[in-house]
Structure 1
């Protein structure tokens, strides 16, 4: 929500309805001992319309939804679906970028980013 100090006493939802809807998506990012996980909610998108890039420690997830219709409809009563593109970027360090994997099911994208394994010194007892 954007709050303007000159309109602080007015109802928030009045101004929220005038602002464009937030153009991103919700994610969970977590890790275990061997890898990071990014789970992204992308309802309405299929895997052909989602791109994932990892470059210079930055994971970029972009999803495009093109409203394709052959008809020109000039008298919409309500038009909420539109062409949109959403994108998020995440910075990860020490990733084994040759083994990054992703899957998508039911509008949920899961990206697995394996951590680089470093040699561990073994102490002799």
Structure 2
């Protein structure tokens, strides 16, 4: 019995291109705040963008590099661009006091929990 291998090379290339590599993240609650710890080896803080909007924390990392061989009249010049992002939804965050630090490839984001309740008056 012969197996259909007509799309074999295309299938391999497609699976490699669609493979997704997310950075690793730990999320927990401690000391009245949500803690988000992301492992970002090889990235600097300039490569990282953090946004908080509509209860959603977005961490995006972008890195672009260029490799050039034979500087005068280069024979090979390669560019590599990598972008990854993760999103997390949180309730009751004091968005004015969110803090972030990055050290040795570890990003730490602290999102204080707002325990204030809003009183609604009946008209």
TM-score (norm 1): 0.70
Out of 64, 74, 82, which is 2:76 matched to?
74
> How far has the Cα of 1:49 moved from its partner?
1.1
> How far has the Cα of 1:48 moved from its partner?
0.8
Two-structure CA RMSD over aligned residues (Å)? 2.7
Aligned length, in residue pairs: 102
Flag the structure with higher strand content: 2
> How far has the Cα of 1:74 moved from its partner?
2.7
> How far has the Cα of 1:22 moved from its partner?
2.2
Q: Partner of 1:82: helix, strand, or coil?
A: strand
**Contact (CA 8 Å) 2:93, 2:111: kept in 1 or not?**
yes
**Contact (CA 8 Å) 2:58, 2:87: kept in 1 or not?**
yes
Q: Partner of 2:115: helix, strand, or coil?
A: coil
Out of 92, 102, 105, which is 1:104 matched to?
102
CA distance in 1, matches of 2:96, 2:62: 25
CA distance in 2, matches of 1:108, 1:94: 25
- Correspondences of 1:47-86 after superposition (within 5 Å): 47-69=45-67, 72=74, 74=76, 82-86=80-84
> How far has the Cα of 1:88 moved from its partner?
0.3
Q: Partner of 1:48: helix, strand, or coil?
A: helix
Out of 14, 25, 44, which is 1:46 matched to?
44
Q: Partner of 1:19: helix, strand, or coil?
A: helix
Which of these two proteins has the greater Rg computed from alpha carbons? 2
Structure 1 unaligned spans of 5+: 1-14, 120-125
> How far has the Cα of 1:19 moved from its partner?
2.3
CA distance in 2, matches of 1:26, 1:63: 12
TM-score (norm 2): 0.71
